[in-house]
């Protein structure tokens, strides 16, 4: 497993090209699995289920077709993007379980900061309750999204991945309907009052990774011909 951390802001087309090349190399047995931690300049990405009406301000930032699952997502400075290039073929070939494992990894990571992340049926991503905000129209406690998730598989190798909000400009999410969900908000670790840095989050991600994604065993060598 290779962990890669990029300094500065990585242009989205560059990241996409690198991911696709690495995923192909993993599938061919020519490269190790990789987790890539980075930040993007402000931009919107459209997943395969994106609806045009959910792009509220198309001229605000660049918009890219991501070809991953999901709808519109914002990426920008202060948000940790985690591109996950893993061999799902050797990890059970169960896509639903793989997505659940990614969700569990996010939740376990947030727990290290005493933040309770939760999954909601019919709502993609990881959510936190906001009892400090007004109740919803139905009297329910407000909930905000703190992490988004969207992957693609090619030859049973994943790419794209997830994003966790550390301290992005939350107003930037206003140019889209994030993941097609308009009746809930968006938050970040700093917005929740936690003085968490990007380095803090990176350390927590590494600390919690192996409990969810154990290292792969080395491939068994083929028997020698008789």
- Report the binding-site residues for substrate: 68-75, 148-150, 161-163
- The closest alpha carbon to 115, from 107, 104, 123, belongs to 107
The residue behind tokens 């703190």 is: 146
**Is residue 221 packed enough to be buried (19+ CB in 10 Å), middle (13-18) or exposed (0-12)?**
exposed
- The catalytic position among 102, 110, 179, 201 is 179
Paired tokens of 116 = 């309770």
Are 117 and 111 in contact, with CB atoms under 8 Å apart?
Answer: yes
Indicate if 14 belongs to the active site: no
Q: How far apart are CA 190 and CA 193, in angstroms?
A: 5
Q: Is 48 helix (H, G, I), strand (E, B) or coil?
A: coil
Catalytic residues: 179
């Amino acid at each position: 497993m290779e962990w890669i951390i990029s300094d500065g802001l990585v242009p989205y087309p560059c990241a996409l090209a690198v991911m696709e090349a690495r995923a192909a190399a993993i599938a061919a047995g020519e490269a190790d699995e990789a987790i890539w931690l980075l930040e993007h300049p402000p931009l919107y990405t459209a997943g395969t289920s994106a609806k045009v009406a959910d792009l509220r301000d198309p001229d605000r930032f660049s918009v890219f077709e991501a070809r991953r699952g999901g709808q519109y997502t914002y990426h920008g400075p202060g948000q940790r993007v985690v591109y996950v290039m893993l061999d799902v073929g050797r990890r059970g070939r169960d896509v639903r379980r793989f997505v659940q494992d990614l969700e569990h990894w996010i939740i376990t990571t947030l727990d290290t900061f005493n933040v309770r992340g939760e999954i909601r049926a019919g709502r993609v991503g990881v959510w936190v309750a906001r009892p400090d905000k007004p109740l919803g129209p139905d009297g329910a406690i407000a909930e905000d999204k703190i992490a988004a998730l969207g992957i693609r598989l090619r030859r049973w190798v994943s790419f794209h991945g997830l994003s966790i909000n550390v301290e992005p400009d939350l107003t930037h999410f206003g140019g889209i309907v994030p993941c097609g969900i308009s009746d809930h908000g968006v938050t970040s670790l700093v917005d929740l009052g936690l003085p968490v840095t990007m380095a803090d989050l990176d350390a927590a991600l590494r600390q919690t990774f192996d409990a969810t994604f154990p290292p792969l065993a080395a491939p068994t060598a083929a028997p020698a011909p008789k």
